[in-house]
């Protein structure tokens, strides 16, 4: 269940398209299992469910158009080959169109490349410098999203009892979550958990952990933060011999999102928006090679097999959805009668899901919008989509009561979470302009 403050309880919310300021608002899960759909045979059960509470997101300030990705790298690598540089830039633009990404927010910029020329040399050992750059930039980006979520929540940061941090682009001990906790002023008794290298299922994994904590501890308030910076670890000069890397350059980006999770909301400060009812994770054996990244001495290398991804989604997604939804009776409603919070991954992922389930185009509109405006930020992307789904329902007066959250990740893994919209069965506890 999402928790939200009553209208009039906070300041104006930042508008979309403002870079790091992003968009923030309230989300959460719930404490009671709701009545299942009519005819499902399920009755109301009293239990504590983990709750996704107030949500916020942030992205690095620099706005980079898809067609200009890697321009600086190309210029410097090909400074004595002007025609080759122009060809490479045009290829990057074409691939940007193929990925459906119009713009992204990247931490990588010309200043960082001037400071670290080794990032442009594929033979140079640059991984330590890349990880150090991530360690320097990520805490403030993650803390910006978390601070907005806490402000919307309406309770002091000291009331946070747990911190669950997910990333696939940071590798250090102690983990970055320690620095984030310090920036936010969290208690020195806050219980910290780091989830690493789950890639596009990073947020789903963090939500599962937070939900389990909330269900076992009614007073717990868990701050979930997901942050990734692939633009630093994954930046390479375009290489036609490695097409997966070039496509990745046109697709991936940086960002951070934060959600507060709890159970038994304290009204009037905390009001439920979502009930998070059940989760399902399915890892398909023998598919580790389909989508993977490897840390090398010169950063992250990508390995993607699109055709196999499509086949795996087509053959497995429905049974994975059934694992979370059938016990609740939700699957009987039909896929097009649910709202969908889907990690976009890329156009091929959404097209495959849409075809496999015969979804109407508007069901994945929020996912496509986030991909277009922000690119694939890996883990945090799902929080951005959740944010956009709520915004659209409030603006369009959406009436779907039941929904599903889906993400796809390495393994090949499919994560599913069943959601129930509260507040008169709509994600709309306050005025439509409240977000």
Catalytic residues: 200
At 288, list the tokens. 């580790």
Q: How far apart are CA 80 and CA 74, in angstroms?
A: 11
150-167 b/e with 16+ CB inside 10 Å = b? bbbbbbebebbbbbbbbb
**Cα 355 to the chain's mean position, in Å?**
23
Q: Which long-range contacts (CB under 8 A, 24 or more apart) does 345-348 make?
A: 345/200, 345/376, 345/408, 346/99, 346/100, 346/251, 346/371, 346/376, 347/98, 347/99, 347/100, 347/371, 348/306, 348/309, 348/310
At 164, list the tokens. 């669950």
Which segments of 278-364 does DSSP mark as H helices, in order? 306-325, 347-357
DSSP state of 312: H
Which segments of 188-305 does DSSP mark as H helices, in order? 202-216, 230-233, 243-251
C-beta of residue 228 within 8 angstroms of C-beta of residue 254: yes
77-94 b/e with 16+ CB inside 10 Å = b? bbeeeeeebeebbebbbe
At 206, list the tokens. 């963090």
C-beta of residue 1 within 8 angstroms of C-beta of residue 30: yes
Which residue in 8, 13, 18, 107 sits closest to 55, CA to CA?
Answer: 13
């Amino acid at each position: 269940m999402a928790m939200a403050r009553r209208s009039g309880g906070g300041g104006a919310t930042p508008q979309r398209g403002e870079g790091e300021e992003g968009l923030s608002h309230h989300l959460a899960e719930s404490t009671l299992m709701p009545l299942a759909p009519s005819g499902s045979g399920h009755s109301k059960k009293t239990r504590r469910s983990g709750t996704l509470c107030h949500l916020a997101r942030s992205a690095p300030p620099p706005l980079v158009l898809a067609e200009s990705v890697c321009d600086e790298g190309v210029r410097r690598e090909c400074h004595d080959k002007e025609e080759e540089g122009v060809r490479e830039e045009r290829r990057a633009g074409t691939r940007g169109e193929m990925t459906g990404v119009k713009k992204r927010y990247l931490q990588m910029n010309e200043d960082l490349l001037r400071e670290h020329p080794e990032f442009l040399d594929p033979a140079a050992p640059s991984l330590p410098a890349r990880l150090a750059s991530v360690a320097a930039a990520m805490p403030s980006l993650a803390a910006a999203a978390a601070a907005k979520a806490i402000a919307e929540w309406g309770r002091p940061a000291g009331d946070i009892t747990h911190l669950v941090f997910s990333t696939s682009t940071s590798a250090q001990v102690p983990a970055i979550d320690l620095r984030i906790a310090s920036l936010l002023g969290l208690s020195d008794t806050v219980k910290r958990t780091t989830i690493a290298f789950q890639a596009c299922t990073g947020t789903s994994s963090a939500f599962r952990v937070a939900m389990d904590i909330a269900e076992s501890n009614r007073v717990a308030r868990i701050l979930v933060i997901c942050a990734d910076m692939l633009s630093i670890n994954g930046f390479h000069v375009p290489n036609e011999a490695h097409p997966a890397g070039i496509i990745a350059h046109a697709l991936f980006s940086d960002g951070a999102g934060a959600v507060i999770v709890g159970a038994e909301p304290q009204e009037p400060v905390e009001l439920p928006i979502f009930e998070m009812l059940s989760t399902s994770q399915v890892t398909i054996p023998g598919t580790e090679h389909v989508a993977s990244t490897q840390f090398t001495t010169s950063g992250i290398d990508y390995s993607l097999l699109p055709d196999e991804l499509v086949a795996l989604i087509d053959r497995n997604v429905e049974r994975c959805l059934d694992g979370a939804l059938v016990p609740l009776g939700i699957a009987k409603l039909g896929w097009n009668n649910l709202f969908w919070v889907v990690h976009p991954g890329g156009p091929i992922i959404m097209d495959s899901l849409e075809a496999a389930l015969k979804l109407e185009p508007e069901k994945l509109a929020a996912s496509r919008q986030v991909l277009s405006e922000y690119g694939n930020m890996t883990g945090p992307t799902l929080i951005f989509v959740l944010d956009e789904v709520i915004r659209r329902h409030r603006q369009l007066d959406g009436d779907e009561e039941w929904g599903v959250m889906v993400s796809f990740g390495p393994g090949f893994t499919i994560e599913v979470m069943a959601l129930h919209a509260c507040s008169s069965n709509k994600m709309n506890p306050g005025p439509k302009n409240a977000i």
